[in-house]
A and B are shown apart, each in its own frame.
Chain A
Amino acid sequence: MADHLLEVRDLSVEFHTVAGTVKAVQNVSWHLDRGETLAILGESGSGKSVSASAVMNLIDMPPGKITSGTILLNGRDMLSMTAEERRRVNGAKIAMIFQDPLAHLNPVYTVGWQIAEMVTTHGGARAKADARALELLRRVGVPEPEVAMRKYPHQFSGGQRQRLMIAMALACKPDILIADEPTTALDVTVQAQVLELLQELQQETGMGLLLITHDLGVVAEIADRVVVMNGGCIVETGDAAAVYANPQHPYTRKLIDAAPGKGAMPEERDRSGQPLLLAQNLQKHYGGFHALKGVNLTIMPGETVAVVGESGSGKSTLARAILRLDDPDAGRVMYQGRDLMAMTPRELFGCRRDLQMVFQDPTQSLNPRMTVYQLISEAWVIHPEILPKNQWRDRVAELLVKVGLRADMAGRYPHQFSGGQRQRIAIARALAMEPKLIVCDEAVSALDVSIQAQVIELLDGLRREFGLSYLFIAHDLPVVRDFADRVIVMKAGQIVEEGSVRQIFEDPREPYTRALLAASLDPDPQVQAARRTARQEEGLIPA
């Protein structure tokens, strides 16, 4: 059998922690050939990044330990190489790009210098390195490469920074490029561009691309073969299209089912009567930046309104303005016919109960020094009229059960829960107020797909049970599709399009909405392939 470009055989990695030995991956085997794209798909904690870290020699040992297996690069065992040899391989033969490019670019050097450094560390001459850096910047599509050479990382946008990272990774013409969640932090339209760039570069250079991701859509867009991981083990491996069409393992099936955007869309509702919340002509400036340019919004009782937009579109500013976390510069917000902006602090305090918020990152929105009981009961400390103190304990238990946790978890601290569980606690805290409207600011974006589906289901159930309204802010259109009644698409502080879910998804009027829909990735490789060809024909690649 011919040697693969990169092969991992029976790799097992353990980490020694105080809580005992954690088996990060067990008997993992995969291989990567020239010109091929292999995706490792898994949710957080599945061990999908560990084998790539082992390839790059990035595992801290101790506490980590490779207990078994071999890693073969062109048939040579990498684990028996000396540290010096490994260093020569890293960067030159195998390069890596990461999720957060800003964290991996040094803020005090110009990007030109940093790309050139990759060449000089591996023995290139300075002048040649500079020329190569310029060539690379031009290749990855950074505008005005000569000027960009002398700029610093913070002067670029997120998508451009990822392009810079790719340029750095390609500096030494590696045989293998490992991309660890390369587009997770990017907007959908930018994600599509970066993935396209990766594909083009791969075709040009014939390198092997190893892609680590949690996103079925990314797999569908770019991968030839896929390795599905769960709990440190490979559960399924095979051709990407075949795995999607015919998943063998129950976990793969569950993952595919959890992908949003497949359910029935809700019917249009009657929107007459007094709105629960009405925002008119909201304006907000941050210094010279015009974040909200006259936004209007209506939420009826029991209705879910989704606000979708890319980063910087002003959707979070809108939520904060409505809740008066940041007062807008102009405009009115009417809650049940009363102007929130004109209220005295005392009147506003009374309304706080009815308007609650669930934040994006539950790790940060829950005070780490309070127990779950304290977190939830804080609502009643602040608003004592809701519940007499002797019923607090029972009510906390009841709420915990309602959001799918156990009543005996009340004495624990937030760090003892997983991300999805923490978001449930945050929802229970919002429910403790018995609100009428819950603003969800990217409330499911930080969660794994299967957890995301569960949390949405929970929110949906609560809506039916309590007649809640939601203002649901998201950057991802498919998430919104099954859940919202109305969708508002925002761009650069303005509403681009507003309509019922059916209208937005089936008959989008504005080009931007269409671009957004086209850029969001479908988990089905065939759908994705069809879209790709359609995009190339139409030239409908959003700028």
Chain B
Amino acid sequence: MTDTRTISEPKPKGRAAQWLAMLWADKFAFFAALFLLIAVLCAIFGPMLLGDLATKQNLRGRNAAPFDLERGWVFFLGADALGRPLLARIIVAAQNTLMVAAGAVFFSAIIGCGLGLVAGYSRKRSAQWIMRLGDVIMSFPSLLLAVIVLYMLEPSIANIVLVLAITRIPIYLRTTRAETLEVRERMFVQAAKVMGASHKRIVFRHILPVVFPTLVTIATLDFAFVMLAESSLSFLGIGIQAPDITWGLMVSQGRPYLTNAWWLSFWPGLAIILTTLSLNLLSNWLRIALDPTQRWRLEMGGRKNG
């Protein structure tokens, strides 16, 4: 009992600093996080600051070319077909875009993961029903479902999130179930059973942490998909409606002018790419940071051994 005091439990002190150091160790992830932070700030404050500017038409400045500071900094990325400054519009659109995408990804991931855990862990008949439900959603054309739902309900951000979330549930459902089936048979789960751990504890303490990194990776990839799906709904006239704007909608609005004014679609497209790329890099970092056997790569500082 003499050396019980030397025990070194992970101390809560400096936990944030530790994570920041790990983030700094992976430069790509660091800048990805920075970019996402800026995007989120734009989403929160953009509409407040630039809302009027983004919707003010200026027909003399139609399709104004980018990299021209004559009209002011908001026109630096050019203007769209109605002469509205693209930079301001991208910043303002960040709110709707991120809200729809994050909302849809969040809800589909939560529901899909929850059902997947049940389907994978339980040996009851209900597990089969969950899987067949997933099959039904998957076999039903998602766009058709969206059209029907949005035709009956009115097109609003909440409804779009709802529709997109439902159509993406099977992705998480199937992955979670498959992984849960495998992890359930692992020895440490058996060991927990021997100790008398409750089902809740086994699922949330032992299975979910193993499945989680995969889900995060899928969710970030899905983020881009949802943004584009939202734009195609908007294109059909049942998604976000003008004067509200999203990046996806801006891309599709710029499509007729691709030959003579590429910047109309290019800049919002770039915003989508950068966002998903950042999320991907960050999720890759998170996967390593959450895994105790891999964490040394970040703690050593730098990607020495890839």
**Residues B3 and A411 in contact, CB atoms below 8 Å apart:** no
**Residues B1 and A398 in contact, CB atoms below 8 Å apart:** yes
The reply to whether the CB of A389 lies closer than 8 angstroms to some CB of chain B is no
Determine chain A's interface SS by DSSP, over half rule: helix
**Residues B291 and A369 in contact, CB atoms below 8 Å apart:** yes
Q: How near does chain A come to B2, taking the closest CB pair, in angstroms? A: 9
Residue of A nearest to B291 (CB): A369
Instruction: Give residues 255-305 of B contacting A (CB, 8 Å).
Output: 290-293, 296-297, 300, 304-305
Q: How near does chain B come to A366, taking the closest CB pair, in angstroms? A: 6
**Residues A18 and B305 in contact, CB atoms below 8 Å apart:** yes
Instruction: Give residues 205-260 of A contacting B (CB, 8 Å).
Output: none
Which of B6, B187, B290 lies at the interface centre, i.e. has the most chain A CB atoms within 10 A of its CB? B187
Q: Hey, which chain B residues are within 8 Å of A368, CB to CB?
A: 188, 291-293
**Residues B4 and A373 in contact, CB atoms below 8 Å apart:** no
Q: 29 interchain pairs (CB within 8 A)?
A: A17-B305, A18-B300, A323-B194, A348-B196, A352-B194, A352-B195, A356-B195, A357-B190, A357-B191, A357-B194, A359-B187, A361-B187, A365-B188, A366-B191, A367-B188, A371-B292, A378-B192, A379-B195, A383-B196, A393-B4, A393-B7, A394-B1, A397-B7, A407-B3, A407-B6, A408-B3, A411-B8, A413-B293, A415-B292
Q: Hey, which chain A residues are within 8 Å of B205, CB to CB?
A: 378
Q: How near does chain B come to A128, taking the closest CB pair, in angstroms? A: 45
0/1 interface trace, chain A 386-399, chain B, CB 8 Å (1 if under): 00000001101110
Q: Hey, which chain B residues are within 8 Å of A379, CB to CB?
A: 195
**Residues A325 and B190 in contact, CB atoms below 8 Å apart:** yes
0/1 interface trace, chain A 345-381, chain B, CB 8 Å (1 if under): 0001100110111010100111111010100001101
The reply to whether the CB of B70 lies closer than 8 angstroms to some CB of chain A is no
**Residues A365 and B191 in contact, CB atoms below 8 Å apart:** yes
Q: Hey, which chain A residues are within 8 Å of B132, CB to CB?
A: none
**Residues A356 and B194 in contact, CB atoms below 8 Å apart:** yes
Q: How near does chain B come to A387, taking the closest CB pair, in angstroms? A: 14
Q: Hey, which chain B residues are within 8 Å of A169, CB to CB?
A: none
Q: Hey, which chain A residues are within 8 Å of B191, CB to CB?
A: 357, 359, 365-366, 426, 429
**Residues A382 and B193 in contact, CB atoms below 8 Å apart:** no
Residue of A nearest to B210 (CB): A369
**Residues A355 and B7 in contact, CB atoms below 8 Å apart:** no
Instruction: Give residues 1-49 of B contacting A (CB, 8 Å).
Output: 1, 3-4, 6-10
- Count of B interface residues, CB-CB < 8 Å: 34
* Known contacts A18-B300, A325-B193, A383-B196; A369 and B3 CB within 8 A of each other: no
Instruction: Give residues 195-212 of B contacting A (CB, 8 Å).
Output: 195-198, 201, 205-206, 209-210
Q: Hey, which chain A residues are within 8 Å of B9, CB to CB?
A: 373, 393, 410-411
Q: Hey, which chain B residues are within 8 Å of A381, CB to CB?
A: 201
**Residues B8 and A410 in contact, CB atoms below 8 Å apart:** yes
**Residues B190 and A359 in contact, CB atoms below 8 Å apart:** yes
**Residues B300 and A369 in contact, CB atoms below 8 Å apart:** no
**Residues A369 and B209 in contact, CB atoms below 8 Å apart:** yes
Residue of A nearest to B194 (CB): A357
The reply to whether the CB of A8 lies closer than 8 angstroms to some CB of chain B is no
Q: How far is the CA of A359 from the CA of B304 in the complex (A)?
A: 36
Q: How far is the CA of A361 from the CA of B187 in the complex (A)?
A: 8
Q: How far is the CA of A355 from the CA of B194 in the complex (A)?
A: 8
Residue of A nearest to B290 (CB): A369
A18-B304, A408-B8 known, 11 other contacts, Cβ within 8 Å = A18-B300, A325-B194, A352-B194, A352-B196, A365-B187, A369-B292, A378-B192, A396-B7, A398-B4, A410-B9, A411-B9
Instruction: Give residues 131-166 of B contacting A (CB, 8 Å).
Output: none
The reply to whether the CB of B186 lies closer than 8 angstroms to some CB of chain A is yes
What number of A-B contacts does a CB cutoff of 8 Å give? Answer: 100
Q: Hey, which chain A residues are within 8 Å of B196, CB to CB?
A: 348-349, 352-353, 382-383
Q: Hey, which chain B residues are within 8 Å of A373, CB to CB?
A: 9
**Residues B195 and A407 in contact, CB atoms below 8 Å apart:** no
Which of A356, A357, A367 lies at the interface centre, i.e. has the most chain B CB atoms within 10 A of its CB? A367
The reply to whether the CB of A406 lies closer than 8 angstroms to some CB of chain B is yes
Q: How far is the CA of A383 from the CA of B197 in the complex (A)?
A: 9
Q: Hey, which chain B residues are within 8 Å of A397, CB to CB?
A: 1, 3-4, 7
0/1 interface trace, chain A 96-137, chain B, CB 8 Å (1 if under): 000000000000000000000000000000000000000000
Q: Hey, which chain A residues are within 8 Å of B198, CB to CB?
A: 382
Q: Hey, which chain B residues are within 8 Å of A340, CB to CB?
A: none
**Residues A411 and B293 in contact, CB atoms below 8 Å apart:** no
Q: How near does chain A come to B191, taking the closest CB pair, in angstroms? A: 5
**Residues A382 and B209 in contact, CB atoms below 8 Å apart:** no
The reply to whether the CB of A433 lies closer than 8 angstroms to some CB of chain B is yes
Residue of B nearest to A352 (CB): B196
Q: Which of B186, B187, B293 is the one whose CB lies under 8 Å from A415?
A: B293
Residue of B nearest to A432 (CB): B195
Q: How far is the CA of A367 from the CA of B291 in the complex (A)?
A: 11
Q: Hey, which chain A residues are within 8 Å of B7, CB to CB?
A: 393, 396-397, 407-408, 410-411
The reply to whether the CB of A401 lies closer than 8 angstroms to some CB of chain B is yes
Residue of A nearest to B296 (CB): A18
0/1 interface trace, chain A 261-294, chain B, CB 8 Å (1 if under): 0000000000000000000000000000000000
Q: How near does chain A come to B156, taking the closest CB pair, in angstroms? A: 41
Q: Hey, which chain B residues are within 8 Å of A394, CB to CB?
A: 1, 4
Q: How far is the CA of A22 from the CA of B189 in the complex (A)?
A: 34
Q: Hey, which chain B residues are within 8 Å of A365, CB to CB?
A: 187-188, 190-191
**Residues B186 and A364 in contact, CB atoms below 8 Å apart:** yes
Q: Hey, which chain A residues are within 8 Å of B190, CB to CB?
A: 325, 357, 359, 365
Q: How far is the CA of A415 from the CA of B198 in the complex (A)?
A: 26
Q: How far is the CA of A505 from the CA of B191 in the complex (A)?
A: 33
Q: How far is the CA of A217 from the CA of B191 in the complex (A)?
A: 33
Q: How far is the CA of A456 from the CA of B156 in the complex (A)?
A: 68
Which of A373, A383, A408 lies at the interface centre, i.e. has the most chain B CB atoms within 10 A of its CB? A408
**Residues B292 and A364 in contact, CB atoms below 8 Å apart:** no
Q: Which of B4, B192, B291, B305 is the one whose CB lies under 8 Å from A407?
A: B4
* Known contacts A18-B296, A368-B293; A382 and B10 CB within 8 A of each other: no
Q: How far is the CA of A366 from the CA of B291 in the complex (A)?
A: 14
Q: How far is the CA of A535 from the CA of B161 in the complex (A)?
A: 76
Q: How near does chain A come to B280, taking the closest CB pair, in angstroms? A: 23
Q: Which of A359, A367, A401, A429 is the one whose CB lies under 8 Å from B3?
A: A401
Q: Hey, which chain B residues are within 8 Å of A378, CB to CB?
A: 192, 195, 197, 205
Q: How far is the CA of A368 from the CA of B9 in the complex (A)?
A: 17
Q: How near does chain A come to B112, taking the closest CB pair, in angstroms? A: 22
Q: Hey, which chain A residues are within 8 Å of B194, CB to CB?
A: 323, 325, 352, 355-357
Q: How far is the CA of A369 from the CA of B3 in the complex (A)?
A: 26
0/1 interface trace, chain A 8-25, chain B, CB 8 Å (1 if under): 000000000110000000
**Residues A433 and B193 in contact, CB atoms below 8 Å apart:** no
Q: How far is the CA of A172 from the CA of B150 in the complex (A)?
A: 71
0/1 interface trace, chain A 421-434, chain B, CB 8 Å (1 if under): 00000100100010
Q: Hey, which chain A residues are within 8 Å of B297, CB to CB?
A: 18
* Known contacts A382-B196, A406-B3, A410-B8; A367 and B206 CB within 8 A of each other: yes
Q: Hey, which chain A residues are within 8 Å of B186, CB to CB?
A: 364
Report, nearest first, the 5 A-B pairs whose CB atoms are least far apart: A352-B196, A364-B187, A365-B187, A413-B292, A397-B4
